[in-house]
């Protein structure tokens, strides 16, 4: 017996088994189906779908804020609009915000935040595009 001889490990069977497993995996993966459950709201056939009215807010170049035909001061707009919005208890009206081209973006965001604070959810910015 030769004590200096080092044994060799034959890895060929291991590689063969791994290739077969990879082939099986590649063949079975496209056949697996994944299902994602989605909760779809139930509609009602009894209540007709109607368009809700829109509230139009305009900001002119002098920073006067107009809600319809009613004029509000820019600085006191959040409080004034909160009082104005009490006539809409369900808050389902769409709110459209239009501003003069010279108005700063931060002033438009100020109006937008005031409308969101009044709990309106359907708000859009009007553009000329």
- The domain ranges of the chain are 54-125
C-alpha 48/C-alpha 41 separation (Å) is 16
What are the residues facing 65 on neighbouring strands? 59, 72
In tens, the pLDDT along 6-34 reads 878 888 999 999 999 999 999 888 877 76
Q: Is the CB of residue 77 less than 8 Å from the CB of residue 117?
A: no
108 Cβ contact list (under 8 Å, min separation 6): 59, 97, 99, 125
Taking 60 as the threshold, does the pLDDT of residue 47 lie above it? no
Q: 54-125: which CATH number, 1.20.59.20, 3.30.420.270, 3.40.1390.10, 3.50.30.30?
A: 3.30.420.270
pTM over 0.75: no
In tens, the pLDDT along 73-100 reads 999 999 999 999 888 888 788 899 998 8
% the chain with pLDDT above 90: 33
The confidence score (pLDDT) of residue 20 equals 96
């Amino acid at each position: 017996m030769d004590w200096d001889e080092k044994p060799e490990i034959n890895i060929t069977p291991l590689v063969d088994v791994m290739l077969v497993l990879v082939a099986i995996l590649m063949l079975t993966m496209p056949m697996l189906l994944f299902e994602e459950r989605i909760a779809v709201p139930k509609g009602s056939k009894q209540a007709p779908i109607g368009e809700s009215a829109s509230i139009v807010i305009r900001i002119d170049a002098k920073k006067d804020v107009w809600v319809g035909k009613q004029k509000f001061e820019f600085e006191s707009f959040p409080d004034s609009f909160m009082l104005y919005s009490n006539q809409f208890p369900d808050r389902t009206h769409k709110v459209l915000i239009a501003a003069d081209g010279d108005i700063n973006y931060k002033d438009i965001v100020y109006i937008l935040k005031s409308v969101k604070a009044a709990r309106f959810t359907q708000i859009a910015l009007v553009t000329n595009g």
